[in-house]
Structure 1
Amino acid sequence: MAILTSSATAKNGRNGHVKSSDDLIQLDLAMPGDGQDPEGKSNPEQLFAAGYSACFDGAFNLMAKNAGKKVESTTTAHVSLNKDEKDDGVKISVKLEVEVSGVSQDEAEELLKKAHDFCPYSKATRGNIDVDLDIKAV
């Protein structure tokens, strides 16, 4: 049974428009490198980065809370389009950078692993794309 279902609709693919069912998200899209002016336009990788960073940061904070730690964290997801030598197409990869205060570097690394095991985006991408994790306790 679904806990939550969100919907968005895209029209005209990467050079089109995407909107959420509640109209909260209304974005024009631009294909990278096609000569279009990308200013003021988004892309699917940017949207994926937003979702993954928010989900992962939430998972990280939940793991910290469960461990009795009070932390402040910031998660940045870098989503890249890469050439795929297997089929001469493209694929994505992600680098998650987490900055956290309130714990040592060793504790931060332990929480990072737990968050990566728990996060729904991490579960969805596991074994499908390269995800690089980097954490810095400040």
Structure 2
Amino acid sequence: MKKNLYTADATATGGRSGHVRSSDSVIDLNMSVPEGLGGKKGATNPEQLFAAGYASCFQQALIVIANRENQTLDPASTVQCSVTLFQEGEGYGLSAVLDVDLKGMDLQTATDIVNKAHQICPYSVGTRGNMEVELKIAGQPAAVAADNA
């Protein structure tokens, strides 16, 4: 049974060269095409916002899974998310790479926790089957469980 926990609201004006503001004004940012594509400095873009959200959300999923497994994540553990905007024919798409560094954790345990986190993270669930997501552990490709692909 689905149980709504939270709804975020934001409004954009002007597209990639405009402005975005959350309903509570915590996010209140100028937007721009990425600088490498001719945009201006000092403004963010949708890909950066998506990468920040995915990294944060995946980090929380790792914490939840580690707790379930009676593990403790080192507070210095990180999730770095790279989101790529690409063009394919007339359409555009996104892909993501999640590079997880569970400081001090052995590779097998880290792989297990990363795979389980990928099953419950709302961003992973929402993108599964819709965009390519690559998992890495400390910069190396992660052994992904078949049902995580």
**TM-score normalised by length of structure 2:** 0.85
The residue number in structure 1 matching 2:17 is 15
Once the two structures are superposed, residues 8-43 of structure 1 have per-residue CA deviations (whole angstroms, 9 ceiling, x without a partner) of 100011110000000011110111355342x11000
Partner of 1:28: 30
For structure 2, the 5+ residue unaligned runs are 140-149
Larger relative strand fraction = 1
Partners of 1:49 and 1:34 lie apart in 2 by 18
Q: Residue 123 of structure 1 corresponds to which residue in structure 2?
A: 125
When normalised by structure 1's length, the TM-score is: 0.91
Identity of aligned residues (%): 42
- Structure 1's unaligned 5+ residue stretches are none
For residue 101 of structure 1, give the secondary structure of its aligned residue in structure 2: coil
SS of the equivalent of 2:92 reads strand
Distance 2:104 2:38 in 1: 45
CA separation in 2, counterparts of 1:52 and 1:70? 21
2:68 aligned with 1:66, yes or no? yes
2-structure distance, mates of 1:103, 1:97: 14
How far the C-alpha of 1:82 sits from its partner, in A, is 1.2
User: Aligned-pair RMSD on alpha carbons?
Assistant: 1.5
In the alignment, the residues of structure 2 paired with residue 27 and residue 122 of structure 1 have an alpha-carbon distance, to the nearest angstrom, of 25
Q: Distance in 2 between matches of 1:79 and 1:112?
A: 18
Paired residues in the alignment total 134
